[in-house]
């Protein structure tokens, strides 16, 4: 079970146009008192589609993903692991295309669009009932860089189920260092090593 209160720690979720400022849907937490406009703007032009991108700033972590001509963006507290945000974003993208025909997106432009207002219910349901969606697994690893302290690592389930190999690599970046871990199909850590990173 996730021990994080997502209602308080997810700041906003946005759906908008690729390469432009069009807003199709915006949900902002009542616990987040900043205007997310500029953060959303920098996510609108990812170099590739269908790849998750992360921005990890001291005050916010943002994960975004472009599909066709639409960009999906989620953001929350900087301590949230990006695998958690990816799992949530993936779920919301799937739900969105299940609920709405993508041709509806072409009816929206500019800053205001109310076609997708009902999607707020889906966002709130995910925040309040995250565990029952079964999107992640939490595993433990002893980290050499943390003086062998046990760290909890969140893994989105689709990372493992979509992987062709019996062990899937994941780089867990935390406290100024990076641990490369290998996860098996049962979400157990089969090996780990500290690796150098360059930002």
Which residues of the chain form contacts with Zn ion (CB under 5 A)?
A: 143, 145-146
Q: Nearest approach, Cβ of 153 to Zn ion (angstroms)?
A: 10
Report which of 159, 31, 175 is spatially closest to residue 86, judged by C-alpha positions. Answer: 159
Q: Nearest approach, Cβ of 173 to Zn ion (angstroms)?
A: 9
Burial class for 10, CB neighbours closer than 10 Å (0-12, 13-18, 19+): buried
Q: Nearest approach, Cβ of 127 to Zn ion (angstroms)?
A: 28
Q: How far apart are CA 88 and CA 80, in angstroms?
A: 12
Cβ proximity of 116 and 100 under 8 Å? yes
CB-nearer residue toward Zn ion: 17 or 145: 145
Enclosing H/E stretch for 72:
strand 70-76
Q: Give how far the C-alpha of residue 153 lies from the chain's centroid of Cα atoms, to the nearest Å.
A: 14
CB-nearer residue toward Zn ion: 126 or 143: 143
CB-nearer residue toward Zn ion: 20 or 151: 151
Give the Cα-Cα-Cα angle 163, 81, 162 (nearest 5 degrees).
Answer: 10
Q: Nearest approach, Cβ of 177 to Zn ion (angstroms)?
A: 6
φ, ψ for residue 61 (rounded to 5)? -115, 130
Q: Nearest approach, Cβ of 61 to Zn ion (angstroms)?
A: 18
CB-nearer residue toward Zn ion: 48 or 148: 148
φ, ψ for residue 190 (rounded to 5)? -95, -10
CB-nearer residue toward Zn ion: 47 or 176: 176
């Amino acid at each position: 079970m996730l021990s994080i209160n997502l209602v308080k720690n997810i700041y906003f979720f946005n759906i908008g146009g690729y390469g432009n400022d069009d807003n199709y849907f915006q949900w902002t937490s009542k616990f987040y008192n900043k205007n997310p406009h500029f953060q959303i703007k920098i996510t609108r032009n990812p170099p590739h589609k269908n790849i998750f991108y992360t921005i990890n700033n001291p005050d916010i972590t943002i994960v975004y993903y472009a599909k066709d001509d639409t960009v999906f963006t989620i953001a929350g507290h900087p301590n949230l692991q990006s695998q958690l945000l990816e799992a949530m974003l993936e779920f919301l993208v799937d739900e969105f295309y299940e609920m709405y025909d993508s041709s509806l997106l072409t009816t929206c432009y500019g800053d205001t669009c109310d076609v997708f207002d009902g999607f707020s219910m889906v966002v709130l349901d995910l925040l309040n009932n995250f565990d029952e969606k079964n999107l992640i697994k939490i595993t433990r690893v002893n980290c050499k860089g943390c003086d062998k302290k046990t760290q909890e690592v969140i893994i989105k389930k689709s990372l493992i189920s979509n992987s062709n190999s019996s062990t899937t690599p994941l780089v867990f970046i935390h406290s100024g260092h990076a641990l490369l871990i290998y996860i098996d199909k049962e979400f157990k850590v089969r090996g780990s090593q500290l690796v150098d990173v360059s930002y």
